[in-house]
Amino acid sequence: MKELSLQIDRLQALENDAWAAVEHQFAGRLYAYVARRIPDQQAREDVLQEIFLGAVRGIGGFDQVYTLEQYLFGICRNRTIDHLRRRRDTTVSSSPEGVDETDPLDQMAIERSNPGSIVGERDLRTRTRSLLVQVLRDWVQETWSQGEFKRLMVVEALFLGGWRNRDTWERMGLSGERAVAGIKFRALARMRALAGQGDADRGLLEVLSEEEGAVGGAEVLLVSDEWAASHASCPARHWLARHLNGSLDEGPKSFVEFHLSKMECPWCLANLDDLEQERVAPQALIERVQASTMNYLRSRTLPQEPS
């Protein structure tokens, strides 16, 4: 976390080399996300430039509850939606039918928001939500380290996928709905215990109460929202790389495949595309993005000549 704070400090200070490093590290995976949704090459490049310019402009409000990747992907999602809406408006106004049957916005509409798309919303900066994000990450890490990948898949299906208990037991080969409910109950109980190990927060403990979990109330929707927003169960990039080269053991392999194929996580699929080098941003494009960002940084940091 200290390393992230130092990196953010440098980015907020508008240091050229810090932003160049970020663009080099993330351009490929962001471009891959855009490429899955925007067919036009020039439009993809324009959107990628807008993403980094938006990141520079908004970095002052960065919330360190989340990662830099989540921040960038949130802006990426917003800029992609902006482009698709403009495209749809143009298509609708010029089309006699007025309908675009292959509109990618239909799919994006069901994707949960990413933290970067909600930077600045005060309600996501409350103490309860910040603690909840940490608890979710701790639970996922603990469950992964214990090798309980079936449990992790069930809970991910419920909170991230929005599956019903019946759907979950039938699709995952469990004994019945009671088995699913038991896994959810124990997961929430463990999360509540993790929350109580540190500086406990009454609001968070209420969110994670077994009563709310049993009835699927509004507070559990909060857990689902934060699970998605924080990418709580997204495998780290090195696990995706091992998935590609076939070096994963059976447990992690089953979860990564489930996460990609059943949850269809757009962020991890973009990372996978980047790793596969199929839709990676060309070096010339990265250089143009860096030049665009550099011009903006100079306009913000160099003294203005007197008029």
Q: Read off the pLDDT of each residue in 130-138 and give the average, rounded to a whole number.
A: 89
Whether 109 and 131 map to the same domain: the answer is: no
The whole-angstrom separation of Cα 206 and Cα 209 is: 5
Residue numbers of the domain that contains 109? 2-114+279-301
Whether pTM exceeds 0.75: no
**Per-residue pLDDT at 282:** 66
Q: What length does the chain have?
A: 307
Whether 158 and 233 map to the same domain: the answer is: yes
With respect to residue 241, please indicate whether it lies within any of the assigned structural domains. yes
Whether 197 and 295 map to the same domain: the answer is: no
Whether 170 and 287 map to the same domain: the answer is: no
With respect to residue 146, please indicate whether it lies within any of the assigned structural domains. yes
DSSP SS3 for 126: coil
Tokens of 12: 């907020």
Whether 254 and 178 map to the same domain: the answer is: yes
Whether 253 and 131 map to the same domain: the answer is: yes
Give me the chain's average pLDDT, please: 82
Whether 130 and 265 map to the same domain: the answer is: yes
With respect to residue 31, please indicate whether it lies within any of the assigned structural domains. yes
Categorize the per-residue pLDDT at 125 as very low, low, confident or very high, splitting at 50, 70 and 90.
very low
**Per-residue pLDDT at 111:** 62
Whether 140 and 259 map to the same domain: the answer is: yes
With respect to residue 72, please indicate whether it lies within any of the assigned structural domains. yes
Q: Read off the pLDDT of each residue in 145-149 and give the average, rounded to a whole number.
A: 97
Q: Comparing 27-36, 62-71, 204-213, 279-288, which segment has the lowest mean pLDDT?
A: 204-213
Whether 283 and 266 map to the same domain: the answer is: no
Whether 245 and 131 map to the same domain: the answer is: yes
Q: What is the CATH number of the domain that holds 95?
A: 1.10.1740.10
- The CA-CA-CA angle for residues 188, 192, 198, to 5°, reads 150
Q: pLDDT tens for residues 149-191?
A: 999 999 999 999 999 998 899 999 999 999 999 999 999 999 9
Whether 30 and 77 map to the same domain: the answer is: yes
Whether 97 and 131 map to the same domain: the answer is: no
**Per-residue pLDDT at 210:** 45
Q: How many domains does the chain have?
A: 2
Identify the DSSP state of 8.
H
The whole-angstrom separation of Cα 272 and Cα 244 is: 8
**Per-residue pLDDT at 195:** 86
